[in-house]
Amino acid sequence: MKIKWYGHAAFNIVSNKGVRIIIDPYQSGAFGGALSYGPIKDEADVVLSSHGHDDHNYTKDIKGRFQLINKGGTYSVKDITIKAIPSYHDPSKGKERGDNLLFVLDVDGIKIAHMGDLGHTLPKDLINEIGHVDILLIPVGGFYTIDSKEATKVVNDIKPLITIPMHFKTEKCNFPITPVEEFTKGKKNVKFAGSSEVVFTKAALPKEQEIIVLRFAL
């Protein structure tokens, strides 16, 4: 299985059988140019959107005949199982920024969780519903989402083998959010990949927890 980080909260996951999943595609140039990652023009079999904001739900550039999943429930796409779990974009049960979906995917026997624009730490029932996670894709930048300290608590609660941070400040994201170093500082087993893509197999997953920081692709 291959995971590519386009930038912001947008990822491309390709299974060993070639099933293509794009998660939270952004609109390039949205918010007056504050989000300047390049357009996502890849083909997809399924697109997941955690909520209806322009930096998470823009599908017009994506090619192919894909299934769009933007509502809670359990789905099966080819050999991929996807669970969309309702949560909130803020700590006030959606009163500030609305709802958010968490996605839990089973790809090639690896459990991946994408937290969308999660705006709160996780109550016990939500932790139980998410269940075992091998790879966690989690926002860490704060302001619009959980911040680095809250993200650390979520990681400690879920206990993934691999954490991939997202939704943080870069030279192509001028939002009032923090850079990834605010999350990674003081933590062990942090790897800066230097690339936008990484390949995972079930057999080669690490024995100890680690953080992998990807370089945006676009």
Residue 86 maps to a domain: yes
Whether this prediction's pTM lies above 0.95 is answered by yes
In the chain, the number of structural domains is: 1
Strand partners, 113: 104, 136
Residue 218 maps to a domain: no
| Domain of residue 84, CATH code | 3.60.15.10
Determine phi and psi for 124, rounding to 5 degrees: -60, -35
Contacts of 53 (CB under 8 A, 6+ apart): 117
User: Is the model's pLDDT at 150 over the cut of 90?
Assistant: yes
Q: Which of 53, 57, 214, 43 is nearest to 137 (CA)?
A: 214
pLDDT tens digits for range 26-76: 999 999 999 999 999 999 999 999 999 999 999 999 999 999 999 999 999
Question: What pLDDT was estimated at residue 70?
Answer: 98
Domain that holds residue 188: 2-213
Residue 123 maps to a domain: yes
Question: What pLDDT was estimated at residue 97?
Answer: 86
Percent of the chain beyond pLDDT 70?
A: 100
User: Is the model's pLDDT at 95 over the cut of 90?
Assistant: no
Residue 92 maps to a domain: yes
User: Is the model's pLDDT at 196 over the cut of 90?
Assistant: yes
> What is the mean predicted confidence (pLDDT) over 189-210?
97
Beta strand 80-88 pairing with 73-77? antiparallel
Residue 207 maps to a domain: yes
